[in-house]
């Protein structure tokens, strides 16, 4: 369905001061899922954007709920631990499910609903939810990190996954032509979930640009999207000079919200309650740590704002020196449907 199928809600996100005051990593990640900019614009007629809230009051209630979760995150941590997630997408699903189960907005009906025909799985609906006004939503969640590897042509195919196994144009095509259509299939109707259902894409993430240079946005991309940088190992010394007080490699499950740390590199609250062994290092030491790594690595730049209190200034990927040529070739491959 198009955006016209439901109300268009316009409201201001909570202030950056309130969001920054959240200290628990998992709570900050939920806040990021709810309030960060979408990666994509709406793609009518089929590509409506998910709206977590129906009103400014719901958004305000969600912020108050997040602050309460931040004060007592034990239940959330147990939920994450029980899920035993190792992949970023599953981690994001785990967080959004917690909000839909316990938050003050839409309520969860079902998650990861499989559709089968003759024993063959056709796909899964990520989330089925119902708003407080009774509107039924089918959300397809995607959290993506793509690196711009084009040459100024302004096309979605220029955005590639760090391991060159994924591309933004292919992901969007899969969303529009397969995932968002699942709730309209006969196989879905046979499951007994009363409709009608509004299919929406919930696409969050980061886009990274070589040495932080601005590029022409493709028409599909939301201009306010979260931005980072990427650089090669050969360019690292020059790029990193004067950029930050300290650096850290970011584990994959820390690729959502900006991170905060206490002195010594330990997170004041580890995701899921586990402790972090990672420590701050200099730019030179970071290069040494990554010297034996074959693929791209996401790293974060930190600055110290108060004694022992550090916050992330920016993030990006350090890639092997031959990666740009390979990425450019991958971006130029003929478009194919996933």
Instruction: Give me 250's structure tokens.
Output: 């970011």
- Stretches in the chain below the pLDDT threshold 50: 1-8, 265-277, 337-338
180 vs 202: CA distance, rounded Å? 11
Number of neighbouring beta carbons within 10 Å of residue 79: 18
Beta 159-160 vs 136-148: how paired, if at all?
antiparallel
Give the integer Cα–Cα distance in Å for 116 and 94.
Answer: 23
pLDDT of 275 reads 36
**How far is CA 62 from each of CA 35, 104, 148, rounded to the nearest angstrom?**
10, 6, 33
CA dihedral 109→90→122→198, nearest 10 degrees, is 40
User: In the prediction, which pLDDT does 9 show?
Assistant: 54
Domain residue extents for the chain: 3-227, 229-325
| pTM, to two decimals | 0.90
């Amino acid at each position: 369905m198009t955006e016209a199928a439901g109300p268009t809600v316009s409201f201001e996100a909570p202030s950056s001061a309130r969001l920054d005051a959240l200290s628990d990593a998992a709570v900050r990640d939920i806040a990021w899922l709810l309030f960060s900019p979408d990666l994509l614009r709406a793609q009518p007629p089929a590509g409506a954007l998910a709206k977590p809230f129906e009103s400014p009051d719901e958004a305000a209630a969600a912020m108050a709920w997040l602050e309460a979760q931040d004060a007592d995150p034990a239940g959330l941590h147990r939920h994450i631990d029980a899920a035993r997630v190792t992949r970023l997408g599953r981690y994001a699903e785990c967080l959004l499910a917690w909000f839909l189960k316990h938050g003050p907005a839409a309520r969860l009906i079902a998650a990861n609903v499989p559709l089968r025909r003759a024993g063959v799985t056709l796909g899964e609906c990520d989330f089925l939810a119902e708003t407080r006004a009774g509107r039924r939503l089918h959300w397809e969640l995607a959290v993506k990190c793509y690196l711009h590897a084009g040459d100024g042509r302004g096309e979605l195919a220029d955005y590639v996954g760090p391991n060159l196994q994924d591309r933004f144009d292919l992901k969007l095509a899969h969303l529009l032509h397969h995932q968002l259509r699942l709730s309209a299939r006969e196989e879905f109707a046979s499951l007994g979930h009363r409709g009608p259902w509004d299919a929406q894409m919930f696409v969050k993430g980061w886009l990274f640009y070589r040495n932080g240079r601005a590029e022409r946005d493709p028409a599909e991309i939301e201009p306010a999207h979260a931005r980072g940088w990427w650089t090669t190992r050969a360019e690292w010394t020059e790029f990193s000079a004067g950029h930050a007080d300290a650096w850290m490699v970011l584990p994959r499950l820390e690729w959502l919200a900006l991170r905060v740390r206490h002195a010594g590199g330990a997170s004041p609250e580890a995701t899921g309650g586990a402790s972090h062994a990672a420590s701050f290092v200099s730019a030179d030491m970071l290069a040494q740590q990554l010297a034996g790594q074959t693929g791209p690595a996401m790293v974060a730049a930190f600055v110290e704002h108060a004694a022992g209190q550090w916050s992330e200034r920016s993030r990006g990927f350090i890639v092997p020196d031959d990666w740009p040529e390979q990425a450019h070739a991958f971006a130029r491959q003929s478009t194919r449907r996933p």
